[in-house]
Structure 1
Amino acid sequence: MLLSILRSYKTMLFVLIALALGAAVATFLENDFGTAFARHYVYDALWYEALLCLASLNIALVLYRTKMFLHVSRFSFHAAFILLLIGAGLSRYFGVDGVMKIRENSSANTIFSTELNEEITLPFTVHLKDFEMERYYGSKAPSSYNSDVRIEDGTVSFDAHISMNEPLTYKGYKFFQTFYDPDEKGTILSVTKDPGVEVTYVGYALLFFGLIFNLFDKTSRFSKLLASMKQTSLLVVLILLTQTPLFSHSAYVQTYLDEHRANSVHVAEAFGELVVQSRMGRMKPFDTLAQEVLYKLSGKSALYEMSPTQIALGMLSHPSLWKKLPMIQTKTPKLREFVGVSPTQKLLRFEDFFEGHRYKLKEALQKALALKPSQRGTFENDVIKVDERLSIAFMMYQGVLFKLFPLIGDEHHTWVAFEQLIMKGKGEEQKEVQEASVAFATALFERNYEKASLHVKTFEAFQTRYGSEIMPSKTHVKVELFYNHVKIFERLTLAYVLVSIALLIAAFGQVFAPHIFTCKRLKPLFYGVVLLFILHTLGLALRWYVSSHAPMSDTYESMIYIAWSCLLFCMLFMRHSLFALSGSVMMAGIFMFVAHLGNMDPEITNLVPVLKSFWLSLHVSIITASYGFFALACALGFFTLILFTCKRSSNITKAILSLSVMNEVVLILGLSLLVIGNFLGAIWANESWGRYWGWDPKETWAYIAIIVYTIILHVRLIPKLYSHYLFAVLSLLGFSSILMTYFGVNFYLAGMHSYATGDPVPIPRWVYGTLFCVTLLILVSYKNKHLKEEK
């Protein structure tokens, strides 16, 4: 009886559910009580490790009972998890993990282990010859940390170099560049000795081989499902948000705006091509900076029928007037009432926040900053964000962000703005450009735009002569300007919406009126989707070229990448299925829409040092691609439940069965990619800073998502429990684990994956509305949950 229990599928599901729930609760315990608390009571607790061991035992017994060793692909990736647990045990109980701090021209041979709370002596000495932190040009943002060390081991002595993502290995010990002393005269190294690394990496290799081979194995369930898929139809959802603020201006202001709008186009275009140095040291066209600033201030890509560069030049040359124009975005009616304007006016004037010399937000800002992030409400977050926007606007009025001029002879390649040029610039060349700067601002103020254009040429010549060493090429600038002006992702969002409406009509039409909605008549829709996919691909390629790194390093980039991945598989394998196409376009449109709601910053920035890794690009690209598949599965489950609500007919039954097959295919692909992507992340973490897994909240929720979809795909092994209806419900609800991994952790839980996060906010109302609609659909469709073809 015990053996029967241990090797049963019910035990498997129970253990998986317990593991997922335990980890989920632990992330909230960690957020409230600290990492040590969560580790002590969950992650490192005996009961949780016992569950992991029970899961491995269950896998081993099932492998033996089902003779899965006869199927190479399935056996490989299932057995890999047993190897991974063994490797993890060796690393945890027999490995060494600590931190070594060394000052320049000093030596050390001990590391401090926080887990053991004691010092460990190494059999050799590490001497720090020099520590160097490289920065991005003209900024304080770090680009890389580097330590030049000498290993001294008796008669053996040699020099070595340690930097981010480039560790040093000696006698089984691995040294990773982690951080540095505040005065930059000392280094902080992570040190590990991992006896389980060989077993773990063999497990990884077996896992990757099995999951990939499973997709091509003709005897696998995936191949059989793929072969049985038939043509079906499609569905899409749409929300469109538009805002048309109305403003009133005095006659003088209106005259100025009309003249500036009409006559400053050419000088703005020329000025936009000048190279500027951002606060993070990225060299880019001024047009890019102007777009980023306008978006941060107003949440818009254009205002008053002017380009961002026209607005930037106006703010520089006539600040007193532009302070009177509404362009500061606010999110909450409460803040608008607080500063004394209409609660419905979303864009406020710079002057609205001041009463004489009194800053109206001063006390509210101090109270908001004094609160913990988790305690701040929408008002407090809005106050902090608006204060940031006002600071950016003030820097634009003062010209501080116009870092257009390289300092001659500066070893750090620092570029400065107009005022700094006057203060720091020396020599005849800089004196000439100083005079041109004053004349340029004067010409703009007098609205003599032709004269201003002549001074832009002086700026360009100065940049080329003294800053060409770090300036992007002419081609790079032109490509970036093209990328800025074409606004491909914003326009694709609207295109996805329009195509989704057409596909929605076609989807239901082919089910209920197949004689009208024939394949021949629907071909243009398919070609439309292909065109959108090609344009989306070109957009990603452009952003990759402009940023010089894979477009997956922040929330905005990953969102547009997920939208692209939603379409990729359909274009390759399911292009004949209207249902699959509809789900792909719908989810791509939703992701693109969310990316452009205004909460995500599309600014292209330099990478922080730890993100400069091949493993990162591979890890992130595969994981985010899996989100596209899970989004498609969510849509397919949604379509299936809608069909369950309809009166049963042969066409509807066939559509449900076909959707279930497609859904399982998509989920197998998604889970395979999610597992591979997460364990590639473990390799990256181990190679970059010496640990596979740290139970960071984002890591933990990715692990929970893996368990959730493993459960969904294995429920079919319990016939008394499984049905097509249940499978549709689970594939729909399962996507909530992805949403929590991608969004929820960023907004509600603290963690190290902070490069794509925002301040915690209350749960939006639309979430409750969505939950209500989903619950209603599940309840309404429940009455028709049985199919004759279930068995």
Structure 2
Amino acid sequence: MLLNMLHSYKTMLFLLIALALGAAVATFLENDFGTAFARSYVYDALWYEALLCLAALHLAWVMYASKMVLHVSRFLFHGAFIFILIGSGLSRYFGVEGVMKIRENTSVNTFFSSDKNREITLPFFVHLKDFEVERYYGSKAPSSYTSDVRIIDGNVSFDAKIYMNHTLSYKGYKFFQTFYDPDEKGTILSLSKDPGVEVTYVGYALLFLGLILNLFDKKSRFRKRIEQLKNSSFILLFLLMSHTPLFSHSEYVQTYLDEHRTKSVEVAADFGKLVVQSRMGRMKPFDTLSQEVLYKLSGKSTLYDMNPTQIALGMLSHPSLWKTLPMIQTKTPKLREFVGVSPTQKLLRFEDFFEGHRYKLEEALHKALALKPSQRGTFENDVIKVDERLSIAFMMYQGVLFKLFPVIGDENHTWVAFEQLIMKEKGEELKEVQEASVRFANALFERNYEKASLHVKTFEAFQEKHGALIMPSKTHVKVEIFYNQMKIFERLTLAYVVVSSLLLLVAFGQVFAPQIVTCKRTKPLFYGVFLLFILHTLGLVLRWYVSSHAPMSDTYESMIYIAWSCLLFCMLFMRHSLFALAGSVLMAGIFMFVAHLGNIDPEITNLVPVLKSFWLSLHVSIITASYGFFALACALGVFTLILFTCKTSERIKMAISNITAINEICLILGLSLLVIGNFLGAIWANESWGRYWGWDPKETWAYISILVYTIILHVRLMGKLYSEYLFAILSVVGFSAILMTYFGVNFYLAGMHSYATGDPLPIPTWVYVCGGVMLGLMILSYKNKQQKEQP
């Protein structure tokens, strides 16, 4: 009986479900009661470790009973999990980790281990010679921090440097740079001694090798599914969009706007090429800064038929007039009524928020900030956001953000704005540019734009003379301005939405009305979608070049990368499948649309020290690529359920079987990438700060997602329980684990990877709407669920 239970696939599903549910519950326990509570009752609890061991034992028996050793790729990646579990056991029960604090010019040979709850003595001393913090130019944001240490072991001593992503190993102990004392005279190092690292890394290597070989193994489920697919076709339409609102104003204001719009183009183009220093120290063309500011203020890329740099120069030179122009974005009619304007007017004037010297939002802002995030409604959130926009607008009127001038001789390469430049003591070096800045502002105010252009050349010469060490090259500036002007991702968003809609019409039309919708040649149509893919790839490459790091370091970048990965799958595997193309373009459009809703900031920023790692780029790129496959699988699941709602016919059955095959291929690829990406993250974590896994909510939900999709892909082994209808439902419902990993953790659970404070935000209405629609579709399609496929 015991052997039968071990061999039973029902046992496998039970164990996987129990592990996933336990981890899911633990993330919410940790959020409400703390990390120690969750570790004590779930993660480190005997019952959870017993489940893991039982799962490994079950896996070993299944591998033996099914003679899996005859299938090399399958045997490798299944057996790898046993190696990894053994390695983790060695690390947990025989390894040690802790924290060491050292002040400059002192030596320490002890560290505190939280796991052992005691001080542990090292067989050698660590002496801190010096600690140094490097910052981004002109800011307080740390770029890197380094501990210059000396290891003293009897008669043996040597010097070494420890910094982020660069460790020190000695006598089995590995030291990692973690943080530093507030006065920057002491360092905080984490260290570990891991006897299971070799076994764990062997497991990782076997896992990666097995998953990759599985994609090329002719006997694998993945290859068999690809061979089952039929050719289809699709139609492509590419559209671009531009939209510029107009407002009516008084005669004087309209005259000014007309003149500024037509005559300031040249000076704005020249000024946009000047380099400016952002608050985080990034050096970029002013064209970029002006675009970021306008987007934050109004949610638009142009306004009043003017480009962002023209508007920025207008705000600087004529602030009293621009304060009367509607350009501050609001989300709620309640806030507009609160300040006394029409509820339908989405863009408000700066002066609408003031009554004399009284700030109308002051009391409402204090109340909103006093509330927990979970208690704030749309009005309170709008108040907070609008207050931020008003602060940015005020800094533009005052010229505070125009940090164009390098401070001569400054070691931190600080740049200052107009007002700070003028206030500095006069000298021969500064005199010319100080006078030019005053004349520049006067020329703009007088609308003498040709004269203003001459002073821009003086600014440019000053930058090249005193700021050349940190300025981007002229080629870099030109490329970044080109990237700004192209607006590739914004334009692709509409293209994806329109194209996917047409593709879906054709796809379903060929199933339900083949006599009307005919499309026999697919290659020209594929080339159309391929053009979208090329444009998207060009946008990613440009952003990579401009930011100097892989474009996947924040929410906006990861979403446009996921959208790209949705298309990548079809480019590689499903070039002739109409439903796959339609689904990939649809999901790409959805991710791009969400990325540009206005709540996500597209600004390019510098990386914090811990993110400067090759392993991070590899880890994030592979994981986010897997999300694209899961998103496509979700879309294909929805298409399948739609077909199930219709009266059964041979054509519909064939379409369902083809879509199911594509769906399964997507999930196999997605799960392979998700597993590889997560374990690459474990390598990065272990090499950067000495631990593979910390049960952080983001990590935990990635682990839950792996379990969820493992269950979905193995349900086919359950015989009569399996059907294409059930598989479609699971592929849709399973995507909720990805949404929780990608979005939910960020806003509902506190952790290292999270933006949340532990207080959940209100669940968006669209979540309930989508859930209701999906539930209705599942109910409607239930009547035809009898179509099955032999696993």
Establish whether TM, by shorter chain, passes 0.5: yes
TM-score, reference length from structure 2: 0.97
Query: 1:241 offset after TM fit, Å?
Result: 12
3-state SS, counterpart of residue 719 of structure 1: helix
C-alpha contact 1:510 1:518 (8 A) present in aligned 2 = yes
Does 2:600 align with 1:587? no
Determine the structure 1 residue equivalent to 2:334.
Answer: 334
1:410 aligns with 2:410: yes
Q: Greater CA deviation, 338-347 or 707-716?
A: 338-347
1:236-274 superposed Cα distances (whole Å, 9 cap, x missing partner): 999999998664422222221111111111111110010
Match of 1:531 in 2: 531
Partner of residue 21, structure 1: 21
Identical aligned residues as a percent: 83
2:79 paired residue number: 79
Q: Which amino acid aligns with 2:419?
A: E
- Residues 503, 525 of structure 1: 8 Å contact kept: no
Displacement of 1:711 after TM fit? 0.4
8 Å CA contact retained: 1:368, 1:381: yes
CA distance in 2, matches of 1:223, 1:45: 40
Partner of 2:221: 221
Secondary structure at 1:783 match in 2: helix
The structure-2 alpha-carbon separation of the partners of 1:465 and 1:743, relative to structure 1 and needing over 3 Å to count, comes to same
Matches within 5 A, 1:242-321: 247-321=247-321
- 1:676 aligns to 2:676 (yes or no): yes
- 2:637·2:663 contact (CA, 8 Å) conserved in 1? yes
Separation (CA, whole Å) in 1 of partners of 2:789 and 2:303: 58
Q: Which amino acid in 2 is paired with 1:743?
A: F
Instruction: Work out the CA distance in 2 between the residues paired with 1:292 and 1:425.
Output: 32
The AA in structure 2 aligned to 1:7 is H
The equivalent residue for 1:193 is 193
- In terms of mean alpha carbon deviation, does 249-258 or 123-132 score higher? 249-258
Contact preservation (8 Å) 1:374, 1:748: no
Match of 1:99 in 2: 99
Whole-angstrom distance in 1 between the partners of 2:236 and 2:687: 43
Report the Cα distance in structure 1 between the residues aligned to 2:758 and 2:457, rounded to whole angstroms: 41
CA drift at 1:449: 0.9
Q: Which ranges of structure 1 fall in alignment gaps of 5 or more residues?
A: none
Moved more, 580-589 or 491-500: 491-500
Task: After superposition, give the CA deviation of every residue in 1:142-162 in whole Å (9 maximum; x if it has no partner).
Answer: 111101000001111110100
Residue type of the alignment partner of 1:753: H
Of the structure 1 ranges 246-255 and 282-291, higher mean CA displacement relative to structure 2 is found in: 246-255
Q: Secondary structure at the match of 1:53?
A: helix
Alignment of 1:364-763 (within 5 A): 364-424=364-424, 426-520=426-520, 523-754=523-754, 761-763=761-763
CA 1:645 to 1:31, structure 2 compared with 1: closer, same or farther past 3 Å?
Answer: same
Q: Does 1:109 align with 2:109?
A: yes
1:718 partner SS: helix
Q: Describe the SS at the equivalent of 1:597.
A: coil
Paired residues of 1:80 and 1:204 also in contact (CA < 8 A): yes
Other structure's SS at 1:511 match: helix
Kindly state the Cα deviation for residue 111 of structure 1 after the two structures are TM-superposed: 0.7
CA distance in 1, matches of 2:204, 2:239: 42
Q: How large is the RMSD of aligned CA atoms in angstroms?
A: 2.1
* 1:174-189 pair list within 5 angstroms: 174-189=174-189
Letter in 2 for 1:534: I
**Contact 2:722 2:788 survives alignment (8 Å):** no
Counterpart position of 1:8: 8
Q: Which amino acid aligns with 1:67?
A: K
Are the equivalent residues in 2 in contact too, given 1:215–1:223 (CA < 8 A)?
Answer: yes
What SS does the corresponding residue of 1:737 show, helix, strand or coil?
helix
2: distance between equivalents of 1:598 and 1:212?
39
1:475 counterpart letter in structure 2: T
Kindly state the Cα deviation for residue 515 of structure 1 after the two structures are TM-superposed. Answer: 4.6
Compared CA separation, residues 725 and 550, structure 1 to 2 (3 A): same
Deviation for aligned residue 1:3: 2.0
Note the C-alpha offset of 1:425.
5.2
Q: Do the aligned partners of residues 133 and 740 (structure 1) sit closer, same or farther apart at CA in structure 2, a change above 3 Å counting? A: same
Does structure 2 retain, via aligned residues, the 8 Å contact 1:179–1:189?
yes
1:209 aligns with 2:209: yes
Superposed CA deviations along residues 189-235 of structure 1, whole A, max 9, x for unmatched, are 01111111111111101111111111111111111111222124679
Q: Which amino acid aligns with 1:260?
A: H
Relative distance call for 1:241 and 1:760 in structure 2 (3 A) is farther
Q: Tell me which moved more, 156-165 or 42-51.
A: 42-51
Mapped contact 2:566–2:587 kept (Cα < 8 A): yes
Q: Distance in 2 between matches of 1:454 and 1:758?
A: 54
Do structure 1's residue 39 and structure 2's residue 39 form an aligned pair? yes
Please, which moves more after superposition, 421-430 or 91-100? 421-430
Decide whether the 8 Å contact of 2:660 with 2:728 is kept in 1.
yes
For 2:513 and 2:44, how far apart are their aligned partners in 1?
Answer: 58
Q: Is the 8 A contact 2:236 2:525 kept in 1?
A: no
What is the alpha-carbon distance in structure 2 between the residues aligned to residue 779 and residue 335 of structure 1?
41
In 2, distance between residues paired with 1:358 and 1:279? 29
Amino acid at match of 1:178: T
Structure 2 distance, partners of 1:175, 1:386, is 45
Deviation at 1:408, TM superposition (A): 1.1
Cα distance in structure 2, aligned partners of 1:244 and 1:34: 50
Alpha-carbon distance in structure 2 between the residues aligned to 1:789 and 1:609: 51
| Residues 117-148 of structure 1, C-alpha deviations (whole Å, 9 max, x = no match) | 22111111100000001111111111111010
Amino acid of the structure 1 residue aligned with 2:765: R
Larger deviation: 509-518 or 734-743? 509-518
Q: Name the counterpart of 1:62.
A: 62
- For residues 459 and 273 of structure 1, the distance between their equivalents in structure 2, rounded to whole angstroms, comes to 11
Q: Deviations over 1:295-317 (max 9, x none)?
A: 11111111111100011001101
Tell me the SS of whatever aligns to 2:411.
coil
Deviations along 1:541-589, one digit per CA (max 9) or x if unpaired, are 1111111111010111111111110011101111011011011111111
Distance 1:80 1:510, change over 3 A: same
**Counterpart secondary structure, 2:707:** helix
Q: Deviations for 1:331-368, whole angstroms, at most 9, x for unmatched residues? A: 22332233232332222221122222122222222233
Compute the displacement of 1:423 (Å): 2.1
Once the two structures are overlaid, the 10-residue window that deviates more, 375-384 or 527-536, is: 375-384
Q: Which residue of 1 aligns with 2:125?
A: 125
Q: CA deviation at 1:516?
A: 4.6
**1:480 and 1:244, CA in 2 relative to 1: closer, same or farther beyond 3 A?**
closer
Structure 2 Cα separation of the partners of residues 240 and 44 of structure 1: 54
| 1:405-448 residue CA offsets vs partner (Å, 9 max, x unmatched) | 11111111111100111223542121110110011111111111
**CA shift for structure 1 position 761:** 3.1
Alpha-carbon separation, structure 1, partners of 2:758 and 2:578: 37
Tell me: CA distance 1:691–1:303, structure 2 relative to 1, closer, same or farther (3 Å). same
Structure 1 range deviating more: 317-326 or 602-611: 317-326
Aligned partners of 1:243 and 1:355: how far apart in 2? 33
Count of residues paired in the alignment: 791
Tell me how far apart the structure 2 counterparts of residues 376 and 54 of structure 1 sit (CA, whole Å): 45
Which residue in the other structure is 2:170 paired with?
Answer: 170
Native 8 Å contact 2:747 2:754 kept in 1: no
Separation of aligned partners in 2, 1:754 and 1:107:
36
What letter corresponds to residue 451 of structure 1 in structure 2?
A: K
Q: Secondary structure at the match of 1:720?
A: helix
In structure 2, give the amino acid aligned to 1:372: K
Note the residue ranges of structure 2 that are not aligned, 5 or more in a row.
none
Task: Give distance in 2, aligned partners of 1:19 and 1:143.
Answer: 39
User: Any idea what the Cα deviations from partners look like across 1:73-93, whole Å, max 9, x if unmatched?
Assistant: 111111111111111111111
Q: 1:130 to 1:373 in 2, by over 3 A?
A: farther
Secondary structure of 2:215 counterpart: helix
